[in-house]
Amino acid sequence: MGSFPRFHEDKGREISVNISRITALPTPKSPPKRGLSNLTKPQLFGYKIMLKIAVNGACGRMGARIAALIIEDPQLKLVAALERHGHSFLDKDVGAVAGCGETHVKITSTLNTHADVLIDFSSPESTVAIAELCAMKGIGLVAGTTGLSTQQFEKIKHLSRQMPCLVSPNMSVGVNVMFNLAAQMAQMLGKDFDIEIIETHHRFKKDSPSGVRPQAES
């Protein structure tokens, strides 16, 4: 099916790799109607697709919230909630952590079912391990984990040749706009200006400063 830019960084750099095979669906009798409504949910040839989503780091603040949002969306299906070995919530219903009631999806340390996409908000070591799994199984990866070293980032970048992959130290639209503006500002001001970037977080954030400042500085 040709090539498609599948590894994305927040600064817009991308690698073109072969797209994975998509299961063919029957061709519709008439072309799908055009309009914004067709772009609101995942579709292929006019047919709506229910994406199967797995979440790694499901007991963290971001992971739990993402799990809850997936459960609330009728177009998405949460199929797995992953956590590290030895976590106290293993074998419990993820709904108890996400605050959305019983989901019949238990928290596990291994991925035992098929997923179309895996969303990862965990630790750098866990992100690399889950990226290797996604590459092996052909699962799309969305990683928002911060604190990745250069070596870990390059490892994931290499693995992205085998899977759709998006990596960003911050998934906020506002922060990604700031990345773009910071790059423009640095280019316009030149080397004669001494710029300092200060990053602050709430006291519960484990990796403070996180990957936002290094990304803005680069």
pLDDT along the chain (218 residues), means of 10: 47 38 41 42 64 96 95 95 96 94 95 96 96 96 91 95 90 82 86 77 60 58
pLDDT of residue 4: 43
Spans of all domains in the chain: 48-167, 175-217
- Indicate if 41 belongs to the active site: no
pLDDT of residue 198: 75
Considering the candidates 48, 158, 205, 206, report the single residue annotated as catalytic.
205
The CATH number given to 48-167 is 3.40.50.720
pLDDT of residue 93: 96
Burial of 13 (0-12, 13-18, 19+ CB in 10 A): exposed
Query: Helix 124-137 vs helix 150-159: angle between axes, to the nearest 10 degrees?
Result: 10
- Indicate if 201 belongs to the active site: yes
Considering the candidates 48, 114, 137, 201, report the single residue annotated as catalytic.
201
Alpha carbons within 13 angstroms on the beta-carbon side of residue 115 total: 30
Is this prediction's pTM over 0.75? no
